[in-house]
Structure 1
Amino acid sequence: MKVLTVIGARPQFIKAATVSNKIRRNGNSEILVHTGQHYDNNMSDIFFEELNIPKPNYNLSIGSSNHGHQTGSMLIALEEIYLKEKPDMVLVYGDTNSTLAGALCASKLLIPVAHVEAGLRSFNKAMPEEQNRILTDHISDLLFTPTLTALNNLRNENVINGVHNVGDVMYDAVNLFKERAKEVSKVIETFDLAPNSYILSTIHRAENTNSLERLTSIIKALSNSNKKIILPLHPRTKKFIQEYNLHVGDNIKIIDPVGYLDMISLQENAQKIVTDSGGVQKEAYFLKKPCITMRDETEWVETVNNGWNVIVGSDTNKILDALENFNPTGTPASAFGNGDTSSIITQIIEDHLK
């Protein structure tokens, strides 16, 4: 079989690291297309190097721009590639503009679409990610859900055919790479960090960065905490902090974005994690770290229901209270499969294309 995989953003590189290797290991052909949605070294190249992801056959170098322009540019470029390569199936991940463009272009050309991480819903249609995931689900032929909640979301939308609850490929990735991170990553030594001595934070969602009120409230909370905060700073967040002229407290150590192995190491050694990232919420859960989510909702309701994630929005007082007092006990329940999701996905695709 010939599968064409479309990726473009950090979380998709991590997911593809597990699935692409399974596809190719079974003697199948994979064409890898990198849209260039994340394009600098710290957000892109380093992931291919660290995770042994095959070099992309095509790099579209689309870069950052407004949603319509970015998605349209991807559609134009992808159509030409699809017509040339004639894949049996197009595989997309997650909820980015790359996801939607990859799926929509294939659907228009009557090429079957497989969507990894289908069925997620925040029920906030103002989020670009929510728009992308809903549209992608409704034009996909194979829908791989990571949880029973995601499966039920699709059923509620009458999306039934081709749906498979397979678990989460990011659980595969954490299991695969966390030991390697211990051997390879030097980030803890580089920044002279003791285990459980700091809070790890990430901020990148448009709902937070594009809002002066929300970003001010978040930075104020982190700055007023008595905890040491390590903040790998997303380029967009850095731009808005400077644009809004926000004061960042002395307790916050800003570092450049890091690769996946360094990020796993930072998470595994953190006392708590405070984030607006969906992927980081799950990684915190897999690594048994308390997670404080700076959003008004989450797609990963299992992490909240099982007591290891708390939703605080951008409220300064709620963030500060959680930083001080949120301390889950016990062990996170298994809700994301058994760590063999990439093998299950590959087998289902193979069976579908026979």
Structure 2
Amino acid sequence: MGKRFAIIVGTRPEIIKMAPVIRECERRKVDYRLVHSGQHYDHAMDRAIFEQFQLPDPHVNLRVGSGRHGEVTARILERFEAYILQEDIRAVLVHGDTNTTLAGALAAAKLNLPIGHVEAGLRSFDRTMPEEVNRVLADHVATHLFAPTPAAVDNLRAEGIKNGVYLTGQTAADAIEFLRPGLAEHPILNELHLKPGAYVYLTLHRQENTDHRERMDFLIQGIERVGKELGFTIVCALHPRTRGRLIEYGWLDRFYGIPGMRVVFPPVDVFASLALQSQAAVVLTDSGGLQEEACMLGVPCVTLRENTERPETLAIGSNRLAGYHPDTIVEAVSMMARAPRGWTHPYGDGRASIRILDIFLAE
């Protein structure tokens, strides 16, 4: 492809996972435009990611901000379509399962442009999750589907998508390999006075957890019991949405007051997050990305959900679903803290970004 294409990102996980693709674009000196939708935008945190991966600044920020799913998706669609026409964009690369992913793919599809979907084929089989709706719809309009694992390829084929599917590996593996050499020397453990293997690293942000008061109550009970009954320090990178809900429910002091709790707010950047994961006894999360990261770092994970679009982690024993009931959370953390760590992760060899661009640029 000798004509200009666009890469659109809108959230920190997208920037992290597309960073290796952007770096490869820079290395090859191809004609591309990097678009930040502004769906999630924190200048300091985004700047840290761009600096850590040595990325160029985005060519444009659409500054769509937050809001209801329909509002955000519509604003991105309208503004990105205008940018595509203004800059004579001839193809689009999207990533993952966010509103930016869906809007970017729809804008390109309406203009009959080639669409590459990085991280295609993931399925939780739970349509109540907005991420599941976004990823399914993006897959069904994409022309190039870059699947990270054989299971993702199988999911696409089961939905009748057979053409344009490529097994590439996971770009997160590329990102981790780029940052891995500095993880052991990262100062975050000393700053938080942590001992390797003596703490649980916690993140909690998905709306199916945070937006349900009863479920959040159960989750807090479970987290508290992990500290009390299992003796772990809890290190929480507190998401703004979660903090907002804790304030709304009147539980912020309750959460901060959990014995052994150390809250980091604003959340740490990706480099510090990976360093904290790498030395944790267990990663406790509802994030899809952290399930993968923990798996690739060789650290057991417990997922605070009843399903996952990363079933490969369950199959190899690096991850366990705990749901949100306190008893199952404590049981899962106890079990995974003692689990063997000798698995081989299924996410490829750290060269996914090279494969993706080789395929996308060849057509």
Q: CA separation in 2, counterparts of 1:349 and 1:138?
A: 17
- 1:258 counterpart (268, 271, 283): 268
1:240 corresponds to 2:245: yes
The Cα shift of 1:54 comes to 1.4
Aligned residues: 351
Aligned equivalent of 1:337: 348
CA deviations over 1:141-180 (Å, ceiling 9, x no partner): 1000001111000000110111001110001111111113
1:346 corresponds to 2:350: no
Q: CA separation in 1, counterparts of 2:166 and 2:14?
A: 19
Q: Contact (CA 8 Å) 1:16, 1:53: kept in 2 or not?
A: no
Q: CA separation in 1, counterparts of 2:55 and 2:221?
A: 39
Q: CA separation in 2, counterparts of 1:292 and 1:84?
A: 46
CA deviations over 1:259-297 (Å, ceiling 9, x no partner): 111011101111110000000000000011010000110
CA deviations over 1:327-351 (Å, ceiling 9, x no partner): 3215222411111111111100111
1:177 corresponds to 2:187: no
Q: After the TM superposition, which residues 143-154 of structure 1 pair with which residues of structure 2 at under 5 Å, given as runs?
A: 143-154=145-156
Give the TM-score taking structure 2 as reference length: 0.94
Residues 150, 140 of structure 1: alpha-carbon distance in 2 compared, 3 angstrom cutoff? same
Q: After the TM superposition, which residues 77-226 of structure 1 pair with which residues of structure 2 at under 5 Å, given as runs?
A: 77-183=79-185, 185-225=186-226, 226=228
Which 10-residue stretch deviates more, 97-106 or 16-25? Answer: 16-25
1:298 corresponds to 2:308: yes
Q: CA separation in 2, counterparts of 1:334 and 1:48?
A: 26
Q: CA separation in 1, counterparts of 2:132 and 2:183?
A: 32
Q: CA separation in 2, counterparts of 1:60 and 1:158?
A: 34
Determine what percentage of the aligned residue pairs are the same residue. 38
2:263 counterpart letter in structure 1: I
Cα RMSD after superposing both structures: 1.2
Q: CA separation in 2, counterparts of 1:334 and 1:289?
A: 11
Q: After the TM superposition, which residues 282-293 of structure 1 pair with which residues of structure 2 at under 5 Å, given as runs?
A: 282-293=292-303
Which 10-residue stretch deviates more, 246-255 or 125-134? Answer: 246-255
Gaps of 5+ in 1: none
Q: CA separation in 2, counterparts of 1:304 and 1:6?
A: 31
Q: CA separation in 1, counterparts of 2:91 and 2:56?
A: 18
The Cα shift of 1:45 comes to 2.7
Q: After the TM superposition, which residues 22-33 of structure 1 pair with which residues of structure 2 at under 5 Å, given as runs?
A: 22-33=24-35
1:260 counterpart letter in structure 2: V
- Report SS of the residue matched to 1:138: helix
The Cα shift of 1:49 comes to 2.1
Q: CA separation in 2, counterparts of 1:330 and 1:278?
A: 20
The Cα shift of 1:233 comes to 0.3
The Cα shift of 1:44 comes to 2.5
- Report SS of the residue matched to 2:141: coil
